[in-house]
């Protein structure tokens, strides 16, 4: 694991510090994560990046809802996707859990909306932030990793961009007619 992903509070005093941290330091850790997430929210809002946004869901700073617009000149151009971002107590030393809430027919997105992206797994770094995650997912939409697909059907169709585009828009059109079916069907699993 890279040194930037080691929590200095957890590694400073070994096991004794970890025991104390679970009693009194838990609030300190939560406070530092809260402060980091507040800073990231401000950075994201001030950056003014086109096609990405994210905000906390109600008063819970550890659960956000984001949107990503499909990039220009890709099969996703003109589409908007909704995502959930869940931040663990160990953030930024642990990656957030990110998934699509909107149906997304993509080689690296499974039927539950989970995303195969290295920075959300083994390439995570505490130096990354919400903005970098959203921009990376937006980039992944137009440049999938077909060598490691979560959705074999989308990966097989990807080389035929015309067919992939038609299927993507049919799925989005169908979903817009029944907007919550995808969300409800996933909540019963």
Cis ω on the peptide bond leading into residue 92 (within 30° of 0)?
A: yes
In a domain, 136, yes or no: yes
Question: What distances in angstroms separate CA 54 from CA 33, 43, 83, 166, one per listed residue?
Answer: 17, 11, 9, 28
- Digit-coded pLDDT (tens) for 28-75: 678 899 999 999 999 999 998 999 999 999 889 999 999 999 988 999
- The number of domains in the chain is 1
Q: What is the CATH number of the domain that holds 39?
A: 3.10.110.10
Q: For residues 162 and 143, what is the distance between their CA atoms, to the nearest angstrom?
A: 16
The pTM score is 0.79
Instruction: Please say whether the beta carbons of 52 and 141 come within 8 A.
Output: no
Could you tell me the maximum CA-CA distance found in the chain, to the nearest angstrom? 60
In a domain, 149, yes or no: yes
- Digit-coded pLDDT (tens) for 88-123: 999 999 999 999 999 999 999 999 999 999 999 999
* Catalytically active residues, by annotation: 116
In a domain, 25, yes or no: no
In a domain, 16, yes or no: no
Range of the domain at 149: 31-177
In a domain, 6, yes or no: no
In a domain, 189, yes or no: no
Higher pLDDT, 181 or 47: 47
């Amino acid at each position: 694991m890279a040194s930037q992903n080691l929590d200095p509070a957890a590694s400073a005093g070994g096991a004794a510090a970890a025991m104390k941290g679970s009693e009194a330091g838990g609030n300190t850790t939560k406070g530092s994560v809260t402060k980091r997430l507040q800073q990231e929210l401000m950075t994201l809002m001030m950056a003014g990046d086109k096609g990405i946004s994210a905000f906390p869901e109600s008063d819970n700073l550890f659960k956000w809802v984001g949107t990503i617009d499909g990039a220009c000149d890709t099969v996703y151009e003109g589409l908007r996707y909704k995502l959930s971002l869940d931040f663990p107590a160990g953030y930024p030393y642990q990656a957030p859990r990110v998934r699509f809430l909107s149906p997304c027919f993509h080689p690296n997105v499974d039927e539950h909306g989970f995303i195969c992206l290295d920075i959300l797994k083994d390439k995570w770094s505490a130096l990354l932030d919400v903005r970098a995650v959203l921009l990376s997912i937006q980039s992944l939409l137009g440049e999938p990793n077909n060598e490691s697909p979560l959705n074999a059907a989308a990966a097989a169709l990807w080389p035929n961009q015309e067919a992939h585009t038609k299927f993507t828009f049919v799925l989005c059109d169908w979903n817009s007619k029944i907007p919550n079916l995808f969300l409800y069907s996933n909540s019963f699993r």
